[in-house]
Structures are given as C-alpha cells and as structure tokens.
Structure 1
Amino acid sequence: MKKKLKQLETYIHSLFTHLHYHPEVSWNEKETAAFILQRLSEDGFKCTPFPSFPGLIAEIGSGKPVIAIRADMDALWQEKDGTHQAVHSCGHDAHMSIVLGTAALLKESIGHLKGTIRFIFQPAEETGEGAIAVTKLGFVDDVDFLYGIHLRPIEELPLGAAAPAISHGASHHVLGKIIGEDAHGARPHLGTSAIEAGMMLHQLLSQIKLSPMNPHSVKLTRFEAGGENLNIIPGTAIFGIDARAQTNEDLDYLKSEIQRTFQALEEWYGITIEHEQQPDTTASIISKEACCHMETAIIDTLGRKGLSKTIFTPGSDDFHFYTKLRPNIKATMLALGADLTPGLHHPHMIFDHSCLVIGAEILTRAVLETMKAES
C-alpha cells in the first residue's frame, strides 16, 4: 500500500489544489460535485448524483457488508483580505481529496473481499442540513458501517497523530430580530434602543450556566443595528445566537433558557423579539466496533505512538445525523492531526498537506479491516 500511496501522492495533492481554489458554499456545490463525478466516473466507479441538490454517491463491489465513507463538500462565506468570499477554512477541500485518494486505493486493494464500498460526497455540512437530506433520499438505509474524517487544530492533534473518534457536541442556532421604536438621538426617552436591548441580551445569555464539568456555551455571533444617520437611535436590530453543549440533553436546557431570556427582555423593554430556529446538529453517536477498526488502521499506518485518545470538542458536525436517524449504522469519525493553525473557520487557516496521504491510508486500512472482520 505504501508504494501505491507514493504513486498517488501527486494525484491527491492536485485534487486538493483544484478543490481549494474552487470553493462553493452550502447547497451551491455544483461545480465541486461535477468535478468529483468526472474523476470517479473516469476511474470506473458507479456514480449516482443526488437528484435535487449537489452531491453524489460512488460505489465499488457488491453485497454485504456495506461500508460508507462520507466527505463534506461546502465552503464557508467569510471576509478574507477585505473581501467576502467562499473559503475552505474548515478543511472540506482536504476531506474530499483524502476520500478521493481512498477511493483510488480501495479500487485496487479490494481484491477478493466481498462487500460494497460507498463514497458519499455530501453538501451543506456547515448549515447542519446535508446529512439529513442525504438520509431522506435513502442512500444510507442499507449501510452497516460509516466512516468520516476531520482535520484537527494543532492544539488537539499534531501532524503524525490521529484519533479513532471525535466526540462532537450538539449545537443550536437562532436568527432573530429585535423590534422596538426608533428615536431621535436628542430624545432617547421616546423610543426603545435595540442596541441597548442587544447589550442586555448578550449579558443575559452569558449568565446561562450548566455544571462546569459539562462543556457548553451560549453567545451572540451576529448583531446588526443602525444606519448611516448617527443621530437616530435604532429600534430594530438583527441578531444571531450560537449555543453548544456536549450532550443533546444539555442543549435542550440551553434552548429553554434562551426562550426564557427572550420573554424577559420583551417584558422589560416593551419590545417584540421575532426569531427563527435554525436546524440543530446532534451530539456524536460513536460505535465501539467502528472505533476499534479505525484504531487498528491508525496503528497500522502511524504505529502505536501515533494513536491518540478520542477527541472531545464542543464543535459540531452533521455527520452524526446519519446515526441518529438510522441507529443501525455503526459509525465513527477519524480525527486527523495536520498541524492546523490558527484554527478551524479562520479565513487564513493552513495545515501541513502531507496529512492528505496519511488520511487516505488510514481510511483505506479502516475499510479493509472492517470488510475482513465482517466477511
């Protein structure tokens, strides 16, 4: 496998270069999906594009077990170097490149083993909606094992280390609007300042607490109020909230406290708060069996010194909807060290590209290990 990987290294890096410089945001990954479809079709994979949104599955083999690998495709919309643009700051360009490299390896390695290997190229992970949409299409109904991958920040894992699972938290997002009444800057008593209400909202959200033993956070991530005229006290503002907890139960508590905060502010300031809840992401559901196969793959690739413990993170990933909606699936997500700095979702995020080949080898070994165990 090492020899084949060496031969594929240039190919995998060329895939990354293309995908990195052609980012597309959630639900708009049309060119990304077309590029992947062309690569896999040319390599002889049976490909099925999703009928109503960007993305596809590709398969080799037949029968049971069905082992799937998922790669997320979407980029983020961020300000970078003074311009708002699509940016692959979460590593999805790397994930796609690694999974495409894994597909090339498995095509030649599957040999006499029985079973189906399915590659899922999924849109809209960043909105928390893509995995749900793919599941509704029925493409994971027969899946026995599901593997994912995510690059990790350097403070979690260095290059040359990997963990067999990522314990993600659950997340909740709210988009809201404060509706008060504008006032002249000289007569603040005649209106209701949305900025003042927003400042109080920030303070009250920061007071929502769980046990310090349970990772959690609630905070404003968006606030817009006012216009060009500085002598107007704005009565209206738009805001966004990001709430996170390590368990689904703790997230439910945070959600109830957010609603209680809205009610208190409405009564206190005499305002109206309109709000729309965005799709939640669920906490991770990790299969011990899948985790064991991934652990073996990491040791075979990096040696025992490269094996790290499960990563616990307040971050979230819609990958875990697959197992929540289809409990029969045994799943885990590979945590891959990449010397990634300064952090995920930073517009200038960088990492050591040598991790691409490492990730492809680990995923390939995990699939082959699973097929051997299940055959």
Structure 2
Amino acid sequence: MNELKERVQETFEHFHEHPELSWEEVETTKRVAELLEEAGCRVRTFDDCTGVVGEIGNFGEGRPVIAVRADMDALYQEVQGEMKANHSCGHDAHMTMVLGTLWTIRQHPEILDKIGIRFIFQPAEEVGAGALKLVEKGVVDDVDYYYGIHLRPFQETPDGKASPAIVHGATGSIAFEIRGDDAHGARPHLTHNAVEIGNYLINAFHTIHLDPNIAHTAKVTRFLAGGRNINIIPGSAQMALDIRAQTNEVMDQLRARILEIIQSARDLYHVEINITEDFGIAAAEVNAEAEEVARQAIVRTLGEENLTDPIITPGGDDFHFYTIKRPQVKATMVGLGCGLAPGLHHPDMSFNREAMMNGIRVLSEILAIHAEGVEER
C-alpha cells in the first residue's frame, strides 16, 4: 500500500505541474498512454483529437464491460497575476485515481477474469465537448456500466466521506451581438442605442418565470458597449448569459424563452442581433443500479458512517452526455469529499491529497462488485 500511495502522489504531482488546456492535452495523452501500456492495457488513441483509452480484463462474449472515466483538461485563468493553464477543477486528481484503480486491479486476476474494464481518459470536459467527441468514437457503444469520480468542495461533502451520485444540473451559455451604427450624442434619432437595447433585454430576462420547484437561473455575465468617447452613442454591443436548470426539460424551456426575448428585441428595435454562441451541457440522468453499486462500494471501503446522500448541484459536467447519447449505458459519478477549498475553479484550489486513496479504494471496489455479480449468474 505504501508503494501504491507513493506512486499515486508522484503521478499527481506530474499532472498537476503539467496542465494542458482543452483539446491541447497532447503531452498528458502521451503520458497516460505510456502508463496504460506499462500496466498491460490495450491502448487506443485518436488521430484527430487528444484522449486515450486503455482496456484490461476479459472482453469475451457475455462478459460485462465496465468503464471508468477521468477528465484531462485544465482551466485557463489568472494565477498569482499570470494567465496560465491551471488544474483547479481536480482533473489531475481524477486521472491519478483512475490510474491508481488500474494499478490496484492488476493485483486481482480474479476480477480481471470476470469482466472487461475500459479506462477512458477524456479531453475537453471544461468546454463541454470531449464526451460528445468520444461518443462519436464509439468508446461506450458496448459499455454496460460507466463510472466517473469528482472531487467535491468541503461545503458540500466533508473530507473522508463520499456520495454514490452527483446530480449535476444542465448548464448553458448564449452569447450574441447587437449590430448597428454609432451616432453623435447630440443626434440619438440616427441610431438605436445598444446600451438601451441591452437594458431592455436584461429586464426581459428577469421576467422569465418557470416552475419554482425546479432550480433555474439566467444571468447576464457579459455586456460590452461603447468606447472611450462618452459623446458617442454605441450602436453595437456584445452580451452573454450563463443559464442553468436542474433538469433538461426546464433547461429547454429556459433556453426557448431567452431566444424568444432576443427575437422580440429584434422586432421592437428593428435591429440586427446575431447569436454567436449557443452551448449547453445536459443534466445528470443517474442510473439507480449503478448508484447502488457505488453505494455498496463506499460502505465496504469507507464505512456506512462515511456514506452521504446523492449530491444535488447546479454545476455541470459533460459526463452525462454519454448516457443521453447512449441510453443503454448505466452510469453514475461518485462525489469524493477531500477538504477541497476555497472551491472548484478557484485559482488557489487545494485539497487533501491523501483522499485520493479513498477514491481509488471506492473505484476498485466497484469493479470487484461487478466481478462478484458475474460469479452469481
């Protein structure tokens, strides 16, 4: 165990010190591929994108295929005054824990004989596109059960505890440009003031009222208009919204209302408004069977006193695209308490690195439980 713990810490340090942005995880892909090959996995990489898949175990007919996913990319943010790639969402830990699970399972041939195990290292989670790309690659087409794991903030899950499911909400962003001509401040009749149009839109967005029993928000997070000269009426502006809802159905309603309001501004002001970004991540659709397996694994490894209820969070993760695009896949994401503070995506995020061993134990036990299920058939 001490040898595994030392290797886990060294591996984490490497990933932590070599962060790479979404779709740019070239060196990370190479390093993970090397470690998978060293562990005896059959390895698959891709010609047109980053990411790597490793397989080990028995993929014979009638054997269940169990997949475990780790995201790979870092965020781009200001860290101590410098804009740089930074692992402030825990993906360095996620990769390390999945590799630690592989190293653990290799010591249990009785598990490898019963099930096929696929370790999926996915790029571009932070831009919500990596899962969809790997779905296109067919990496989950034959998967029966699929598990992810994610570090959780201390406010949500105490250190040493774990949850069998993270119920992420749907998230999205809509960006658009108001296009028109500038005019002199003395001649407001010659243009449409993009600031006034933007103010109309903000007020209209605040009139959206959907089911109050289901959490949802729409917030303007960008409004750029005007320049250095105050006596110029700006005809153009850039705006963007962050939108969130706890269910996919409410997200669809929210997005439709926002687009209707934007169209109403076009009609009212006779102005050109162009959508420049319309992007979203689906809400979680947790499978009860996969959640139960994760629950049993947490109880067996950490004790029932360290099992928490499923986590409901307005944050999002593109992991849930796998089950939406391939509904036959039974999936859940384990939430790992690790003393994470001040919070996810904070440039100075830190956590108790010892907790990675808990994650490895839980993921390894999940695979053991699936192997036991094969024996019972």
With normalisation by structure 2, the TM-score equals 0.93
Aligned to 1:367: 367
Q: How do 1:115-154 residues align onto structure 2 when only pairs under 5 Å count?
A: 115-154=115-154
Aligned to 1:73: 72
- Residues 106, 229 of structure 1: alpha-carbon distance in 2 compared, 3 angstrom cutoff: farther
Aligned to 1:213: 213
Contact 2:115/2:370 (<8 A) preserved: no
Aligned to 1:271: 271
**Structure 2: distance between partners of 1:371 and 1:362:** 14
Q: How do 1:307-346 residues align onto structure 2 when only pairs under 5 Å count?
A: 307-346=307-346
Amino acid at match of 1:365: E
Q: How do 1:271-290 residues align onto structure 2 when only pairs under 5 Å count?
A: 271-290=271-290
Aligned to 1:57: 53
Aligned to 1:32: 28
How far is 1:290 from its partner?
A: 1.0
User: What SS is found at the alignment partner of 1:243?
Assistant: strand
User: What SS is found at the alignment partner of 1:108?
Assistant: coil
Amino acid at match of 1:47: V
**Structure 1: distance between partners of 2:101 and 2:237:** 47
1:53-101 C-alpha deviation (Å, 9 max, x unpaired): 0001001112221110000111122223333222212111111111111
**Structure 2: distance between partners of 1:48 and 1:39:** 13
1:96-119 C-alpha deviation (Å, 9 max, x unpaired): 111111111111124354121110
1:148-170 C-alpha deviation (Å, 9 max, x unpaired): 01111111101011100011111
Contact 1:110/1:368 (<8 A) preserved: no
Aligned to 2:194: 194
Aligned to 2:304: 304
How far is 1:137 from its partner?
A: 1.0
**Structure 1: distance between partners of 2:81 and 2:267:** 40
With normalisation by structure 1, the TM-score equals 0.94
How far is 1:216 from its partner?
A: 0.8
How far is 1:51 from its partner?
A: 2.7
Cα RMSD between the aligned structures?
1.8
Aligned to 1:107: 106
**Structure 2: distance between partners of 1:30 and 1:249:** 37
Aligned to 1:19: 15
User: What SS is found at the alignment partner of 2:315?
Assistant: coil
Contact 1:180/1:270 (<8 A) preserved: no
After superposing the two structures, state which structure 1 stretch, 285-294 or 232-241, moved more: 232-241
Contact 1:216/1:246 (<8 A) preserved: yes
Of 19, 22, 37, the match for 1:41: 37
Amino acid at match of 1:50: F
How far is 1:196 from its partner?
A: 3.2
1:34-62 C-alpha deviation (Å, 9 max, x unpaired): 11112222222211112310001001112
Amino acid at match of 2:368: L
**Structure 1: distance between partners of 2:309 and 2:79:** 34
**Structure 2: distance between partners of 1:110 and 1:175:** 52
After superposing the two structures, state which structure 1 stretch, 123-132 or 203-212, moved more: 203-212
After superposing the two structures, state which structure 1 stretch, 190-199 or 167-176, moved more: 190-199
Contact 1:79/1:347 (<8 A) preserved: yes
Contact 2:115/2:371 (<8 A) preserved: yes
- Residues 271, 83 of structure 1: alpha-carbon distance in 2 compared, 3 angstrom cutoff: farther
